Structure 1
Amino acid sequence: MPRIRFLILLLLLCFPLFAQYNFNFVCVSDTFQTGTDYFVYYFRLTNTGTLPDIYAFDCRVIDSVPGWFEQYCAGGQCGDPGMILYDTLPSGAVDSLIEISVIPATGQWGTEKLNLLVWSLHNPVLRDSINVYAAMEQGVGEDKRREVERVNLEVFPNPFTDKINIKFVIRNPKSETNSNFQIPNHKLKIYDATGRMVKQFKHLTNYRFNGIMWAGDDEFGNILPDGVYIICLETRGFKAQKVVVKLE
């Protein structure tokens, strides 16, 4: 009986520690991506505990491709894989500006695997990690690189309150040398922090747009709440992305 009482007392003493510190960590974009120019993975960390906490991040390249460049950002800081970054969140707060970027080297085909680990400094037992994959195949990637050499996607102001201007320029050597070249159909899509598409602009058949105004609304004209949104330009499998913040 004394032993049972001791175990009950031990559980009562330890339970508040685990109740005070907790978090939820998810990847809000596809964890496996294929492309030709660069890859971006977005994550969301939520402090689901009852007390403020400090979190540590550690990004590692598990399987590498020679010449590829990797960088990750968290807590308003950016660094190379292997560098520990920190983020402080009060109870109930969310950080949606956590990301990993991968830029392939020209002519270096393959698949990279990266792991992003996060843990609580106040309770190191609480930890979670997510693997992401960046794949570029030889044949397909080479054709896409010839088709689209460079894309420039700009958004301003950022952060914004009611409206944001979106500009993009795509340089395509075929369109410059062949007047009969068919212009592909670009798609401009906007996602919220959970990865849900909230708005899209279809049938964009120009290589240059000096301004597409987005009023912070969804497909039905409803004004979206303030938060983090991802503007994504897609054309024949190629993607360019920008993270924007909508304020009240």
Structure 2
Amino acid sequence: MKKYKVLVALSIMLATLANAQWLETTVAVGSNPFALCWNSTNNKVYCANWGSDNVTVIDGATNSVDTTIAVGIEPHDLCWNSTNNKIYCANCGSNNIMIIDGATNSVDTTIAVGNEPWVLCWNSTNNKIYCANNDGDNVTVIDGATDSVITTVAVGSNPRALCWNSISNKVYCLNEQSDNVTIIDGVSNSIDTTVAVGSYPWTLCWNSTSNKVYCSNYISSNVTVIDCATDSVIATVAVGGFPMGLCWNSTNNKVYCANYLSNDVTVINGATDSVDTTVVVGSDPFALLWNLNNNKVYCASWGSDDVTIIDGVTDSVITTVAVENDPCDFCWNSVQNRTYVANFNSSSVSVIRDTLLGVEEQLTFNIQRPTVKIYPNPFHDEVHISFGIGYGTESVELSIYNAAGRLVESFRITPDALRTTLFWDGTDHANRQLPSGVYFVILHTRDCIITEKLLLIR
């Protein structure tokens, strides 16, 4: 009886710890931090400070500020190129991009682009960076190897969001004032087509499982769903008032939409494009992030200065964490399982910690659970992924994500032995060779999730 009570108490404690989230620390940065990105090669977080014209570099292990880098006027967005370990910073007030060396945290070069560079995305297949110029109505295409401009593509009015589809190698560009999305071929840099969406589109996200792009439209209060195989609209989903942020949960194939005026998050089924449920959150929800390690969705509410954390399986609220004034952007550090939140009007970054990593680091129990071994690591041509799954496991799913959190390959396996080995050649689900960089191997069983880091060197 005593042994039974101890096991029950231990199970309750672990269940509580698994869902625990707390504010670990707050890091002072520059004025009006607006954009964040994480560099997995050196475990650093970069914060673009719109009001002070600089980028703060935060050590991902210690949460201390390493350095502050002067950039252009009004830095508005960041993206990290894992092939060259460089960070690109779009300065909307000086019409240029500054390129920061990720090893030295110094500015390598400055590239002139169009008027009011607003947002960036990286195409890892062709190693190109795309910059949407809000006041120039065009997209600048930059060669990631030479950091020179390849071409400029004319798009619609006020391009304000970009996303890259690695399956078709196309870039989707949202044009706010013309109510459409321009689709750019990733090889030729020519326009494939333009798709009409709702009124005043705000942001985009790509669902690689169903190969669809979702576009939130804040005046028409809906989400347009684009089939990427045909680049045509296949559904329009009614959501809450003034939809803004989007994110995709690849584990459960769900799309989350933050509705700024109705103070809730709409959960859309990624297979059927129907609404599963609506989750009440804080005031003026603005930005979303999905954590693939713990399958939780984080929602930053600008008006109530907090982050609502939603369970990715049940779509119920786990907790709400108070942060500082006007949280507006996220990034996730998968090494420490920390979520970073930029607080626009507090000149700070809040760091939210998840106990999942802490439990794995600090507690060891004599419980049979899956194990994953990867060799060689780093690898060049082929890697062996070996996992022990224990008795009673009917099937497992092994997924591989890139450093941006995008699913690149997955395997569904019914094991016939206690240990199974598979071989991965560094290609994606379309058999395209992936670039050098950090990848994450995620083993899903019925009872747990195991994450391992993998380095591909070409």
Q: TM-score, normalised by structure 2?
A: 0.28
More helix by share: 1
Say which structure, 1 or 2, has more relative contact order (CA 8 Å, 6+ apart).
1
Q: TM-score, normalised by structure 1?
A: 0.48
